[in-house]
A and B are shown apart, each in its own frame.
Chain A
Amino acid sequence: MSVRAEQLQRAAWTRASAPQTIGLVGIALGFLALWLALPPFGVRTAPAPVAVGILAAAAGIWAISRGKVRVGGGAIVIGLVGIAGALLAMRASSSNLEGVFVWSALLAATLRFATPLTFAAIGGMFSERSGVVNIGLEGMMLMGAFFGAYGADQTGSWVGGIFIGMLSGALLALVHAIFTISLRADQIVTGTAINFLALGVTGYLYNQHYGNNGTPNNLPAIPDVNIKFLSHIPPHGLGNFLYNSIGQLNLMVWLSLLLLPVSYVVMFKTPVGLRIRSVGEHPRAADTLGISVYRTRYGAVILSGALAALGGVFLSIGFLNSFTENLTAGRGFIALAALIFGGWRPFGAFAAALLFGFSSALALRLPDLSASSSAAWPVLFQTLPYVLTLIAVAGVIGRSIPPAAIGRPYIKQ
C-alpha cells in the first residue's frame, strides 16, 4: 500500500471519528453534570453543574454540525437533562440526598433487580435468534416462580426448587414450540396464550395448595454468597463499598453474571450458536446445508423457557422467599424490552437490564428524597424502561435490528 493511500485512509478515519468521539464525551459530560450534585461530590451551587451541562450541549452541537446527528442530539438532551436533574437535586436537603444515593446499596439493588431480567432476556435471545418470537417469556417466568417455590417446598431444598422450576418453564416453552414450529400458529398469538395459561395455571395451583395462608414461611431459600474478605481490601472506604455492594449477593445473581459470557460464547463462537443464528436469519439456506430447522428451533425455544423460568425461580425463592398470584407482574415484558433494547445480544441485554434495574431501584428509594417523604412523582421513574424501549424500537438511538426470519414459521420442502 502506498504512503499516499495510507495518509488518505488516516485522514478519512479522523474525519469520521473525531465528531463521534466529541459527541460521546458530550454525553459523558451530561451525566457528570448530574452526578456533581449527588454524593459524594454533593455540589450545592448551580454554576458548576450548569457549566458542565452547557459544555456537554456545546459538544453535541459541534458533533451535529459535523454530521453526527444522533450522538450530538443525545449529548444535547443528556446535557440539558443533567442540568435539570442537578438543579432538582439541589432542592433536596443534603442529608436526604445521602440517604437515597447510597451508591453501594443502589448498586446491590440494581444487580438484584436486573437478575431476573437478565435470565429472561438471555432466554428470549436464544428463542428469538432462532426465529421464534417469545412474548410468552412473562408466562414462563411465572411458571418458574411458582414451581420454584412449590418444588423447594416439596423437596425441602432450594436445589430441587431450581430444577423443578426450570422444568416447568421448559415444559411451557415446549407447548409454545409445538404450536409455533410444528403447527405454524402465529407466534405472537401463541405467546399471548402462553401468558394467559401460565397466569391461570399458577394461580389455580397456588390457590389449591396454599390458599389464603400463602406459601410457608420456612421455604428453603437460595443462599447469599458472603464474600467477607472484600471488606478487608486496603483503603477502608473501598473495601466497605465493595462488601456492601457485591459482598452479599444471592447465588443466582452471580449465576446470571456467569451466564453472560457463557451465552455469548455459545451464541457467537460455537457451531451450535451458528446453527441457531442461521436458522433465525435464513432457515431455507440452513436447511439446505443439512441443519434441522425444526430441531434447532425446538431446542432454542425450550432453552429459553428454562432460562426465563430461572429468572422466576430467583424472584420467588431467591429474592422474596414467597409466591403470590402474578408474582412476576410484567417483568417478562421488561426482559423482552431489555432484549430488544440490547440488540438481541447478551451484553447489550445485560446493560439494558442494569439500566432498567437501576431505574426500579431508584424509584423505590426516591420517595425518601423530599422532606415530607410522600411525593408521588418518583413512581414515574417506573416508566423509564418502557419509554427507552419505545425510543430504541423507533430507531432514535441506534436502531435495533431483529433476526431476519423472526416471526415466520418455516415450512420444510
Chain B
Amino acid sequence: MTELSGEPPDLTGETPEAPEPTPEGTVPSVAARLAFYQRAGGVITPLLTALVAFLIGGLVVYATTGKNPVSTYKAIFKGSGLSWLSPVSVHWHTFYPNAVKWTGWNTGNLTALNLQQTLIVVTPLILTGLAVAFAFRCGLFNIGGNGQYTVGAITAVQFGVWFSGLPGPLHVIIAMAAATLAGAAWAGIAGLLKATTGAHEVITTIMLNWIALWIGSYLVGFNGPMQDKREISAPVTKSIAPSAHLHVFWGNPLLQGLHIGFFIALGALVVYWILLNRTTLGYEVRAVGFNAEAARYGGISVARNYFLAMAISGAFAGLAGAIDLLGWEFNLDLISVQTVQIGFIGIAVALLGRNSAIGIFFSALLFGALLNGTSSRNLDPSIFKPELAGNLTRIIQGLVVLFVGADLLILYLWQARKKVRLLQRKAEQA
C-alpha cells in the first residue's frame, strides 16, 4: 500500500487555504478573510471552535437533564481549581468584604489541591499533544500516542523497580531516558514502515496501539512476568523504588501533590519549539510536511525525516508515560493499561492548539481542567452527575476535533451570514 491520502493533510495551521475565486469577485473573498485571521496568530478559529463545542455541550446538558448548563460548567470549573490563579478574588474583596480573601500562595486550601490535580493531568496531555503535533508538522498523523505512552509507562516501572540502590536524581533520569527511548522505538516502527514500504502511519500506529495494549496486559496481568508476586489476587506491578519518585514541589506528597514533571513538560514545549524552528532537523521536518515532493527535489531525504519525526513524536509520548508513573502512579495495574486514552486526547490537544507550542499549552490546560473538573472526586453530584460529565467531556473533545478539522465550515457560516444580509437588504428594498 503506497499512500492512503495522496497529499499529506494540511494540518500545520501555517498554510491558509488558497483563496478560491468567488462568483461575486469584487467582495474580498471569505477565504481571504479567514486566511487573514489565521495569519493574525490563528487564535480566533480555535477559540471559536472551543466556544461552539462548549455551546453544543451545554445544549446537550440542557436538553437531556434540564439543568442549567452555566451552573454545570461553573461546577466543573470550580472542580478544576483554576480559580486559584484568578487574581479577581483580590479585587472582589474590596467590593464584597465577605468574599473569600486572597490567601497568597496558600497550598492548604481545597482550590489549591484541585489545581494541583489538574496540573498533574495537564502534564502528560502537553506531552502527548506534542507527540501528535510533531508528527503533524512532518505531514504524519500519529494516532499511536496510547501505545507509545503505554510502552513508556511499562519501561518506566521496570526501570523504577530495578536499580533501587541508585541515588535519586540518577535513578529518575535513567528511568525517564529508558521510557523515552522505548516510546521512540515503538513509534519508530511505524516511521520505519512508512519510510521503507510506504505503509500508512495511521493504520500502523493503530495496530501498534493494540499490540502495546495486549503485550502490556500480558506483562502486568495475572501471572504475567511483571505482576507483583506478593499480590496474587491483583494484577498490578511492584511499586517503583522511592529513589525513582519525582520530587513533589507543591502540596503534600502523601496527598498526591504536584511533581516536577510539570516543569519537564514545560521544558518539552520549549524543546519542541527550538527543535522545529531553530534546527536543521526541524526545517527538514517542516519542509517534508509542507510538501514532500518539493522537499525531495530540494535534496531532503523524505524517508529519513519520516522515521525521525515518528521517533521524536513517540519519544514525547513515552516521556509522558514515564512522568505519570514516576510522578504519582508508582505502579501499573491491568485496568489502567487497558483504558489508556491520553494519546487520543493528545490529538484534540494538538489540533486545538494548532500545533504550536503555546497553543498546545493552553489547550492541554483546557482539556486537563475538563478531565479533572468532571472527575467523580471533584464534581458535586447534586449539580451534575460525574459519570455524565465525563462523557460530556468526550463529546466536547469530539466536537472540537470535528470542527477544527473543518475550516470550510466556518467559511460556509460566513457565506450563510452574507446571504442572510443580502436577503434582508432585498426585503428592505422591496
> Measuring CB to CB, which residues of chain A are less than 8 angstroms from any residue of chain B?
133, 135, 175, 179, 183-190, 192-201, 203-205, 207-208, 211, 330, 333-334, 336-337, 340, 374-377, 379-380, 382-383, 385-387, 389-390, 393-395, 399-402, 405-408
Within 8 A of A (CB), among B298-357: 344, 347-348, 351
Indicate which residue in B210, B391, B404 contacts A189 across the interface (CB closer than 8 Å): B404
In the complex the two chains form, what is the Cα distance from A406 to B1 in whole Å?
11
**Max chain B Cβ within 10 angstroms of own Cβ: one of A133, A185, A207, A385:** A185
In addition to A183-B408, A390-B204, 17 A-B residue pairs with Cβ atoms within 8 Å of each other are: A185-B402, A186-B11, A195-B344, A197-B395, A197-B398, A204-B60, A340-B203, A377-B218, A379-B221, A382-B210, A383-B211, A387-B207, A390-B211, A393-B1, A393-B207, A394-B199, A408-B7
A207/B391 in contact, CB under 8 A: yes
Indicate which residue in B3, B217, B391, B398 contacts A194 across the interface (CB closer than 8 Å): B398
Using A185-B408, A197-B399, A200-B391 as known contacts, say yes or no to A383 and B210 having CB atoms under 8 A apart.
yes
In the complex the two chains form, what is the Cα distance from A58 to B279 in whole Å?
53
B5/A408 in contact, CB under 8 A: yes
Using A179-B406, A192-B143 as known contacts, say yes or no to A402 and B65 having CB atoms under 8 A apart.
no
Q: Which of chain A's residues have a CB closer than 8 A to the CB of B347? A: 189, 192
Mask for B1-14, Cβ within 8 A of A = 1, else 0? 11111110101000
Closest Cβ–Cβ distance, residue B56 to chain A (whole Å): 10
A196/B397 in contact, CB under 8 A: yes
Q: Can you name 18 A-B residue pairings with CB atoms under 8 Å? A: A184-B406, A188-B202, A194-B402, A196-B401, A197-B398, A330-B210, A337-B203, A374-B223, A376-B223, A379-B214, A383-B210, A383-B215, A390-B199, A390-B204, A393-B193, A394-B196, A394-B197, A407-B5
Indicate which residue in A211, A337, A402 contacts B207 across the interface (CB closer than 8 Å): A337
Q: Does B419 contact A (CB under 8 A)?
A: no
Q: Which of chain A's residues have a CB closer than 8 A to the CB of B211? A: 383, 386-387, 390
B405/A179 in contact, CB under 8 A: yes
In the complex the two chains form, what is the Cα distance from A185 to B388 in whole Å?
29
Q: Does B393 contact A (CB under 8 A)?
A: yes
> Measuring CB to CB, which residues of chain B are less than 8 angstroms from any residue of chain A?
1-7, 9, 11, 60, 64-65, 141, 143, 193, 196-197, 199-200, 202-204, 206-208, 210-211, 214-215, 217-218, 221-225, 227, 344, 347-348, 351, 385, 387-388, 390-402, 404-409, 412
Q: Which of chain B's residues have a CB closer than 8 A to the CB of A188? A: 4-5, 9, 141, 143, 202
B64/A204 in contact, CB under 8 A: yes
In the complex the two chains form, what is the Cα distance from A193 to B394 in whole Å?
10
Residue of chain A at shortest CB distance from B408 = A183
B214/A383 in contact, CB under 8 A: yes
Q: Which of chain A's residues have a CB closer than 8 A to the CB of B402? A: 175, 179, 185, 190, 193-194, 197
Closest Cβ–Cβ distance, residue B79 to chain A (whole Å): 18
B204/A380 in contact, CB under 8 A: no
Residue of chain B at shortest CB distance from A333 = B206
B344/A133 in contact, CB under 8 A: no
B1/A402 in contact, CB under 8 A: yes
Q: Which of chain A's residues have a CB closer than 8 A to the CB of B218? A: 376-377, 379-380
Closest Cβ–Cβ distance, residue A108 to chain B (whole Å): 24
In the complex the two chains form, what is the Cα distance from A333 to B146 in whole Å?
14
Indicate which residue in B215, B398, B406, B409 contacts A380 across the interface (CB closer than 8 Å): B215
B394/A199 in contact, CB under 8 A: yes
**Max chain A Cβ within 10 angstroms of own Cβ: one of B7, B197, B218:** B218
Q: Which of chain B's residues have a CB closer than 8 A to the CB of A406? A: 4-5
Closest Cβ–Cβ distance, residue B64 to chain A (whole Å): 6
Closest Cβ–Cβ distance, residue A347 to chain B (whole Å): 19
Using A380-B215, A387-B211 as known contacts, say yes or no to A203 and B9 having CB atoms under 8 A apart.
no
Indicate which residue in B1, B60, B412 contacts A395 across the interface (CB closer than 8 Å): B1
Closest Cβ–Cβ distance, residue A230 to chain B (whole Å): 36
In the complex the two chains form, what is the Cα distance from A201 to B395 in whole Å?
6
In the complex the two chains form, what is the Cα distance from A104 to B394 in whole Å?
42
Closest Cβ–Cβ distance, residue A145 to chain B (whole Å): 15
A186/B210 in contact, CB under 8 A: no
In the complex the two chains form, what is the Cα distance from A394 to B208 in whole Å?
13
Closest Cβ–Cβ distance, residue A116 to chain B (whole Å): 16
